[in-house]
Chain A
Amino acid sequence: MERDTIIQVRGLVKDFRPGFGLRKKRVLHGIDFEVKRGELFGFIGPNGAGKTTTMKILMGLISATQGDAHILGHDVRETAFREHIGFAPESPYFYDFLTGAEILDFYARLCAVPKARRRERVREVLSLVGLSHAADARLRTYSKGMLQRIGIAQAIVHDPSVVFLDEPMSGLDPVGRKEIRDLVVTLNADGKTIFMNTHILADVETICDRVAIIVHGRIAYQGELGGALPVGERKLDVTFSALAPELAEEAESRFEAQLSGRGERITLRVADKHLSELVQGALAHGAVLEEVAPVGIGLEALFLDAVSGKLRGGAQ
């Protein structure tokens, strides 16, 4: 395992038996991915794709059928290294008879945070997640957004270097989502590696460095948000001036291009494999090349391609 690889998953397979006497069902089909130090990594996929199963294997809550997973160089089946990781589950539930400060103190005790440091650390974390005002309120009085924040607070109360978040923005209103998003960015800026399960693409697109897309228990794409398509299939916006309209229409049909712009400047969106032929032809007919710009690939398009099976593996 490379020194800077924080999470390494190799050939992870998980079979579940849906019920007694029923045949096993495979939910993870040998997935591989890596997360590097300091990354804010988005693990995305449609419902039932295997996101939470993968997360639970990483957290030691369920065991893998085959394959292995390491965090910080430790097999995830070990226990002691978990003092360096934090986990906030989806829609967390806590002992609602405790207050915010009490629940954080409980989790800090589980992580063997020294008694002398605990009180101060609990206060720091409550302040970080914006719950200082509710420190002495019972959790049963907390709103969903506050519970989500206390969920993140318990994940970081022992100051771990890797934080796992399972659907942290799930079920929150736009204000709550932004607050959690800002908190995640703050944690990442503080040097923590973040692994985030989610299906809210807008949030991933806004804050994540890299993503892995899991579909039907297989990694369909892993890499940065741009550059998902192989060379030859990437789209380019090619803008000309003085391009004859009939020539533009011919290029539109010949290269399966999308034509836009009117008058002096005309833009054709084509696959990069047609660039050379298009430009040479246009210049030969007196057009002037104004600009060639790569078209950014939105995460939604990438995600839909992954779900529809157009992507397999992606940029590793």
Chain B
Amino acid sequence: MRWLGAVVAIASNTWRDAIRSKVLYVLLFFALLLIATSATLATLSYVERERILQDVSLGAIRFFGAAIAIFVGVGLVHREVDRRTIFTILSKPVERSAFIAGKYLGLVATLWALLAVMSLCFVAASLLAGAPLDAGHAIALGLVAVELAVVVAFSTLFSSFSTPFLAGCYSLGIYLVGHLTRDLYAIGKTSSSPAAREFTFWVKRALPDLEAFNRTLEAVHGLPIPAVEVGWSLAMGSAWIVGFLLVAVMTFERRDFR
């Protein structure tokens, strides 16, 4: 109960801190700008205007959501150490695991709030353009929320032991490779080199498959999204989140704060 109380206190404070970040608002502005611009871009096309609008908008939401998650996430723990606010927190009856969990949940809550703002903008743009909206769009946006939670988890892990610059490099690397694991694996399978096949196999195993959260194509084209696949994505996302946070806690437990 005390653990939970500390998590809630740290999470709400992280929320208050995060929503003051200027980077966050700059990126949000560009995301909203791109969604608004997509409506104009769609008018330049003679065909599939609604699909262009939704494709560009969902892409903007995913890209800027991830950018915010990485930009804010990589400094999440480091900033507390650097500003020495961590001294007064960890000298209280607060487990280090509660600190990591609180910071993580605070930032996830912030990102989900921003995602809600971007989603409302997406819905408004779709309605104005007369584009169809159905459950597929809701599922696609829901999976973006899960993907952002995964991105924050590995950003938090890197932030727990590294500087923001290095944590940013690691996080960006995992994000990019995480979206390419399927392609890499497919390429590897067709390779004649056993080493290449082995390498791409282990890359797919060792890194989160972030494309599993990308359902833009199905949502935009009105294709069915099987519930099993959604469930599998949710389970995989949850497992990666727990895994990244456990490693973050183990790393953080061993740290000296000099």
- Interface of A with B (CB < 8 Å)? 16, 53, 56, 59-63, 79-83, 85-89, 92-95, 97-98, 106-107, 109-112, 151, 154-155, 158, 164
Contacts and interface: CB of A to CB of B under 8 A. Distances in A.
A87 B20 CA distance: 28
Interface stretch (B23-31, B88-96, B127-135, B186-194): B88-96
A148 to B, nearest CB: 13
Contacts of A80: 2, 93
Contacts of B20: 97
Nearest to A94: B85
Contacts of B5: 109-110, 112
Given A63-B256, A95-B17, A110 B89 contact: yes
Contacts, number: 87
Nearest to B13: A106
A292 to B, nearest CB: 49
Nearest to A158: B92
Given A106-B13, A109-B9, A110-B6, A82 B92 contact: yes
Nearest to A27: B258
Interface residues of B, number: 26
Nearest to A151: B88
A112 B256 contact: no
Nearest to B5: A112
B256 A89 contact: no
A79 B92 CA distance: 8
A81 B91 CA distance: 10
Interface in B153-176: none
B84 interface: yes
Given A56-B87, A83-B92, A95-B13, 11 more contacts: A16-B256, A61-B87, A61-B90, A61-B257, A63-B256, A82-B93, A88-B88, A110-B5, A110-B93, A112-B93, A158-B92
